[in-house]
Chains A and B, each alone.
Chain A
Amino acid sequence: MADKQTARRTAKEQAPAQTAWEPLIVAFLCNWCSYAGADLAGSSRMSYPPNVRVVRVPCSGRVNPLFIMSCFKKGFDGVLVAGCHPGDCHYVKGNYYARRRMPLAQELLAYMGVDPGRIRFDWVSAAESGRFVQVVQSLTEQVRALGPYAVNKARI
């Protein structure tokens, strides 16, 4: 039993070394626009890089800059924050607050050594499935070019 567990764990630890590195990106998508846009991309059978892990948030204004910092601390390589276009916010003004907050957080993290290309803040409406695909594609390529962020590996 113990051997089996050890074997499984060892296999898991070795797995990343055997496969090529793939960027891992967290996408915070607003429930009313961007998440629906991503959903439409899926139901329209559009393909986009499988590197994003989607977190559905009620509004782009819900995205605390600490979320972004946490992602990098935990070893993700990039972060996407997407919300409704200005004027279209379900909560009227949440995205306006985000539009002040996010670029500032990006600037702070850039100053602290997180390449600004790893963070993307953008608008994707519920109808813009193509745009969602395009944003994910371009961010994934950008992050791939920058390489792994890997805070934890840097320490070892």
Chain B
Amino acid sequence: MRGLEQAIRDTARELLANGRVRLVLGYREGSVPFRTTPAFIRTPEEVDRLVWNPFCANNLAVYLPAAVGAGGCIAVVAKGCDARSIVTLVQEHQVPRERVVILGVPCTGMADPARLAGADGSLHGTAVTWDGEGTLEVRDAGGGRSVAVRDVLQERCRLCEHNTPTLADEMLGERAPAMPGAAEAFAIVEALAGRPVEERRAYWRAQVERCIRCYACRAACPACYCRTCFMDKTAPRWASKASTADESWMFHAGRAFHLAGRCVECGECERVCPMGIPISALNRMLDREVRERFGYTAGLDPESVPPLGTFRPEDPDPGGSEER
């Protein structure tokens, strides 16, 4: 998989050198060995800063509308989830298809830094090197150890159904094997939905009550591109700024619904949440519902119309009409 990094660099260099794109969105090394940071590469000389490893967690599609808005063609290093986000952006006319070059990277899942922490739960002083395949060498105060990436996957990656990009202009590797939890993507939804309604209410109330309304979920979400979010409006003021359970409930319920039939479950919202709120359990529930009701999966077909933006005259009639 070191080959992937080389392929990313070579392709990026070529695209920049021949003027096909003005910017390449990718990953570069972060300030600690178990993180990467988004890279904005504008010249062929900078291309060697691009990296590929099991810590390329960010969904780079989030930068695409602004980058395209600033002009020119943009190349994006895209994992399966990123590619699906781009499909959504194309579908919703936020990004013209011809202005984006998708550099598809078959993804074998990202490692969760929290699961590399030593016995003391700290990552302070931890050094990590990747062997280029499926193993991480971790060195910390407790000594060195080998960890398989598969054993420390981020949950969203473990459950990923489309780790190989479904749409790419340049595919930079062979199709990656399916992720271990792909078949149980909705297990958390089923577990929650099976509980009594009062328990669900108490559960979500306790979850949203912890929300500090930093809006990191919204900032990290490629589908949250509205210039004015409903939460920022003053008339009507859907919810106040107060981070109480009621107001935050409104935020999370509203945001989840706005992503219905659009969310590709990249899980960025949950990853960036400083309070550990299980945001994607809301999105997954709506995703499951949309698949069942409308037979539609988000982010697969740029030509299709999102299910809430269309209808069929033969759609089922609402329940609750029993005494007709």
Interface residues of A (CB under 8 A from B): 65-66, 69-70, 73, 86-87, 93, 96-97, 99-105, 107-115, 120-123, 134, 138, 151-152, 154-155
A120 to B199 alpha-carbon distance, docked (Å): 22
A99 to B316 alpha-carbon distance, docked (Å): 8
B-chain residues with CB within 8 Å of residue A107 when the two chains form the complex: 285-286, 289
Interface: B152 (CB within 8 A): no
User: Is the beta-carbon distance between A70 and B257 smaller than 8 angstroms?
Assistant: no
Q: A66-B238, A66-B254, A104-B289 are known contacts. Are A112 and B294 too (CB-CB below 8 A)? A: no
B-chain residues with CB within 8 Å of residue A134 when the two chains form the complex: 323
User: Is the beta-carbon distance between A96 and B250 smaller than 8 angstroms?
Assistant: no
User: Is the beta-carbon distance between B192 and A111 smaller than 8 angstroms?
Assistant: yes
Q: How many residue pairs, one in A and one in B, have C-beta atoms under 8 Å apart? A: 108
> What 4 A-B pairs have minimum CB-CB distances, sorted nearest first?
A113-B201, A96-B311, A113-B200, A121-B318
User: Is the beta-carbon distance between B200 and A111 smaller than 8 angstroms?
Assistant: yes
User: Is the beta-carbon distance between A108 and B282 smaller than 8 angstroms?
Assistant: yes
Within 8 A of A (CB), among B234-286: 238-239, 244-247, 249-250, 253-254, 256-257, 260, 282, 285-286
Interface residues of B (CB under 8 A from A): 189, 192-193, 197-205, 230, 238-239, 244-247, 249-250, 253-254, 256-257, 260, 282, 285-286, 289-290, 293-294, 307-308, 311-313, 315, 317-321, 323
Q: A86-B317, A113-B203, A121-B318 are known contacts. Are A104 and B290 too (CB-CB below 8 A)? A: yes
Q: How far is the CB of A60 from chain B (nearest CB, A)?
A: 10
B-chain residues with CB within 8 Å of residue A69 when the two chains form the complex: 249-250, 253-254, 257
B285 closest partner in A (C-beta): A111
A-B contact pairs, 11 of them (CB 8 A): A100-B311, A101-B308, A103-B293, A104-B289, A105-B257, A107-B289, A108-B282, A112-B282, A113-B203, A123-B321, A155-B244
A-chain residues with CB within 8 Å of residue B317 when the two chains form the complex: 86, 99, 123
User: Is the beta-carbon distance between B313 and A86 smaller than 8 angstroms?
Assistant: yes
User: Is the beta-carbon distance between B253 and A112 smaller than 8 angstroms?
Assistant: yes
Q: How far is the CB of B208 from chain A (nearest CB, A)?
A: 9
User: Is the beta-carbon distance between B246 and A113 smaller than 8 angstroms?
Assistant: no
User: Is the beta-carbon distance between A114 and B311 smaller than 8 angstroms?
Assistant: no
A-chain residues with CB within 8 Å of residue B203 when the two chains form the complex: 113
Give 14 new A-B contacts, CB below 8 A, not counting A111-B200, A113-B203: A65-B257, A69-B257, A70-B238, A70-B250, A73-B247, A96-B312, A101-B308, A108-B253, A108-B260, A113-B197, A114-B197, A121-B318, A151-B245, A154-B205
User: Is the beta-carbon distance between B311 and A97 smaller than 8 angstroms?
Assistant: yes
Q: How far is the CB of B74 from chain A (nearest CB, A)?
A: 33
User: Is the beta-carbon distance between A96 and B238 smaller than 8 angstroms?
Assistant: no
B-chain residues with CB within 8 Å of residue A120 when the two chains form the complex: 320
Q: A69-B250, A108-B253 are known contacts. Are A113 and B192 too (CB-CB below 8 A)? A: no
B321 closest partner in A (C-beta): A122
B-chain residues with CB within 8 Å of residue A100 when the two chains form the complex: 293-294, 307-308, 311, 315
B-chain residues with CB within 8 Å of residue A105 when the two chains form the complex: 257
A-chain residues with CB within 8 Å of residue B199 when the two chains form the complex: 113
A-chain residues with CB within 8 Å of residue B200 when the two chains form the complex: 110-113
